[in-house]
Amino acid sequence: MITLKRLKLEDIEYFSKWWRDPVLRKLTSGVLKPISDQEIKKYFKGMLAHKLEHHFLILLNQKKAIGHIAFRGRKDKSCETQIIIGEEKYWGKGYGTKAIKLGLKEISRYNYKKIYLKVRPENLRAIKTYKKCGFRAIGLKRYPKNKFLPVVLKMSLDLRDKDI
Ligand SMILES: CC(C)(COP(=O)(O)OP(=O)(O)OC[C@H]1O[C@@H](n2cnc3c(N)ncnc32)[C@H](O)[C@@H]1OP(=O)(O)O)[C@@H](O)C(=O)NCCC(=O)NCCS
């Protein structure tokens, strides 16, 4: 069973592992430069302190932390989501789909109208998962100066169209 729990400071241990994992980094930012404990702490604390961000730990059977889902609000009533399931053995079991659906329910009280996300066009597992949750592709965005992530597929979900 998948549930979500609001992220707390003591959960940083999971992030020290996930943010350093080369497999996850290749699928997300693409940046493989080593990160220090201090950088992890600073970024993690900043994330929790941000007023417009909602962060959840993804739990399997209410105890095993298997991933993280974030919703980063913007002032225009839209928000951007990001998800990682931290270990490959938990991929492809429906957990990501469930976590996104639960996350959308959690944030429905904040009156966001649109949820956006960016994904590498070659990350077909993620794209399939997002489509199953109601996201639609809206186009490619290129970042020619970013050698680690030169192009992303943008997807969106209109919460007003969705019965969650
Ligand atoms: C992306 C991610 C969150 C998806 O969660 P998940 O639990 O693995 O996904 P689900 O099991 O819910 O759904 C995966 C779907 O993709 C399909 N799939 C798996 N591999 C695929 C591939 N190579 N090509 C196309 N579809 C694929 C599965 O069959 C499943 O669809 P189905 O239910 O119709 O059979 C998770 O795999 C993950 O965190 N991966 C590593 C980090 C990452 O890529 N994060 C996203 C960055 S944008």
Q: Tens digits of per-residue pLDDT, 110-128?
A: 989 999 999 999 999 999 9
Which atom of ligand 1 is nearest to 95's Cα? Answer: 7
pLDDT in the model for residue 72: 97
Q: Tokens standing for 14?
A: 């999971």
- Going by pLDDT thresholds of 50, 70 and 90, the confidence category of residue 160 is confident
- DSSP class of 61: T
The size of the chain, in residues, is 164
75: closest CA among 109, 47, 114? 114
Q: What percent of the chain stands above pLDDT 90?
A: 93
Q: Contact 67/90 with Cβ under 8 angstroms?
A: yes
Q: What percent of the chain stands above pLDDT 70?
A: 98
- Rounded to a whole number of angstroms, the distance between the first and last alpha carbons of the chain is 19
Question: 25: part of which helix (H) or strand (E)?
Answer: helix 22-27
160: closest CA among 116, 115, 128? 115
- Going by pLDDT thresholds of 50, 70 and 90, the confidence category of residue 163 is low
Which amino acids bring their CB within 6 angstroms of ligand 1? 24, 27-28, 83-85, 91-97, 119, 123-126, 128-129
Task: Please identify which residue in the block is written with the tokens 């979500």.
Answer: 4
Ligand 1: which residue has its CA nearest to atom 30?
92
- DSSP class of 94: S
> What is the mean pLDDT of the segment spanning 40-57?
96
